[in-house]
Structure 1
Amino acid sequence: MLALPLVALASACSTDKDDDAARKSPAPTASPTSDSEKKATVEAERIGAVPPAELRRAALNGKSNGFQWKEVPESEVKAGLGMKADPAECQPLASLAGGTTSIEPVSLVHRSLEPTEAKNATVGSMWLASHSKKNAERVMKDLHTALKKCPKGFKTLGLTYQSVKQLDEPDLGDEAVVYRLTNVVGKQSMPMTFTVVRKGGLIAAFYGVNMLDEKNSRIPQPVVEAQLEQL
């Protein structure tokens, strides 16, 4: 299992008093804060992508739709980047398993998703990847190709993923796809459900796991829609 989803497996059992809190969280500063961010901002403006500061503002924080949205430390985000697939044609799936896209985004923002109700056993994470519209379309096209070519799964960084299956193409954003794969660690199998949505040049990816019932591992659509409304 990669580092990023492991963060989400530590589920919270608090009560949900304010589903709108995520929308009311203070927005990060709009000014670039580092040389790398300044370069990303310039590149975003050049290709018509969403710059880093705006992407951070777009990502939900706090409580919303039964989940607590939390920022993921940069060190844990980086741990999942650079995952190379074997076979190579499965790279789009490996990249998403690592918390990014097969085409390097201009900027990337992650959130862990922890349930606020004890009866909800689904945990996961969400990330927003900023691209030009052309590159975002290519990300989705390559993902669909990988889903067709990699039903048996792939390996990456010593991890094994099996049983890749497309589940749905929900009416979300400009295009979307839902698929499930199984992460195998020793004798333990962990089904993981991904919802990947393109809206313009933005890719919003949601990952979910439910150790009690794999059929409920999908992040609920109202949760996905709440984030898409902010984009």
Structure 2
Amino acid sequence: MSRVVVAVSVVATLGFTAACGGGDDEKDTEGKPTGATATKAADEGKGGSEGGGGGATSGGGPAPLTEAQLEKAAIVSGDIKNYKVAKTPEGDIPAETVPAEPAACQSVADMFFFTSTPRAELRTARTLTATSDLNATVVSLALLAHDEQSDAEKVMAGLRTASKSCTAFEHTDYKYSGVKALPDPKQGDEAVSYQMKGSIEGTDVPMTFTIVRSGPTLAAFYAMNVLDADKAQVPADVIEAQLTKLAELEKAAG
């Protein structure tokens, strides 16, 4: 079995757990529409969702991206060398958060499945695997479009606090340890980075997370490597490719 197959199998296991424990992506616990459904309804009430965005949120920041814009902003295989890019099934990134123990770790636990509080109005995710069988690093990324810039700022603040106060936690029947805040990257409007190690099916899996805010949109990345802890880093070229494409889309949207 190749290194990439081993790594992807771990990601698939985690995605299956998320799908089983995360709830319905279409409605929240009160029966209200969430995710793409909620945003589509809101856009229809405002006069359409395929337009060019622009303007500003009611909170004074840039307007949130539409569903079409968010999909267009996400990288594809041709945007990055040496990686295959696949769209992550919606079932693998459930909209509902799953409680973590202790609760102080909730923010970092949520980001593993690209959920958050406040919750993003729209999300799209990708999984990147190296084209070389000698590279076992698997990268997951997502773009999270919040309705208000202040909501995205709250998510970032929660991640920054949790990555410094949380050291270990349990989430979706798995245990995580060694949570450690890393220096904030100098990217976007603000960024946060941290690392941890998961104990998954008897295997220790080192992981590194980087989350970058651009207005009301978050670009979230994490990398794992089941064979080489030193390589469990989010590749700089992946972050650069995604942030560049997002910035181009935001500029075009006005």
TM-score range, shorter chain: 0.7 to 0.9
- Whichever structure has more strand as a proportion of its residues is 1
Structure-1 residue corresponding to 2:41: 39
Structure-2 residue corresponding to 1:16: none
C-alpha distance after superposition, 1:103-159 (max 9, x if no partner): 2101000101111123322112111101121111111111111112102x1112212
Structure-2 residue corresponding to 1:172: 187
Confirm or deny that 1:136 pairs with 2:152.
yes
- Please identify runs of 4+ aligned residues in structure 1 that moved more than 4 A: 34-37, 42-47
C-alpha distance after superposition, 1:10-53 (max 9, x if no partner): xxxxxxxxxxxxxxxxxxxxxxxx85452253589765211211
Structure-2 residue corresponding to 1:65: 81
Measured in 2, the distance between the counterparts of 1:128 and 1:40 equals: 19
C-alpha distance after superposition, 1:154-182 (max 9, x if no partner): 11221211110112212111111221111
Q: How far did 1:81 drift?
A: 4.3
C-alpha contact 1:71 1:110 (8 A) present in aligned 2: yes
Structure-2 residue corresponding to 1:107: 122
Structure-2 residue corresponding to 1:92: 107
Query: Structure 1 length as normaliser, TM-score?
Result: 0.79
Percent identity reads: 34
Q: How far did 1:74 drift?
A: 1.8
Cα distance change of structure 1 residues 126 and 35 upon mapping to structure 2, 3 Å threshold: closer
Secondary structure at 1:229's aligned position in 2? helix
C-alpha distance after superposition, 1:176-213 (max 9, x if no partner): 12211111135421111111111111111111111221
| 1:73-222 equivalence runs, <5 A | 73-78=89-94, 81-131=96-146, 132-151=148-167, 153-185=168-200, 187-222=202-237
Measured in 2, the distance between the counterparts of 1:190 and 1:168 equals: 21
Structure-1 residue corresponding to 2:32: none
Measured in 2, the distance between the counterparts of 1:173 and 1:8 equals: 32
CA RMSD of aligned residues (A): 2.6
The number of residues matched between the two structures is 203
Secondary structure at 2:196's aligned position in 1? strand
Structure-2 residue corresponding to 1:13: none
Secondary structure at 2:193's aligned position in 1? strand
Measured in 2, the distance between the counterparts of 1:156 and 1:102 equals: 16
C-alpha contact 2:175 2:199 (8 A) present in aligned 1: yes
Secondary structure at 1:82's aligned position in 2? coil
Tell me, which stretches of 5 or more residues in structure 1 are unaligned?
10-33
Query: Which residue type is aligned with residue 224 of structure 1?
Result: I
C-alpha contact 1:69 1:113 (8 A) present in aligned 2: yes
Measured in 1, the distance between the counterparts of 2:161 and 2:122 equals: 24
Confirm or deny that 1:6 pairs with 2:11.
yes
* Structure 1 stretch displaced more, 35-44 or 85-94: 35-44
Cα distance change of structure 1 residues 68 and 52 upon mapping to structure 2, 3 Å threshold: same
Query: Structure 2 length as normaliser, TM-score?
Result: 0.72
Secondary structure at 2:43's aligned position in 1? helix
Q: How far did 1:92 drift?
A: 0.6
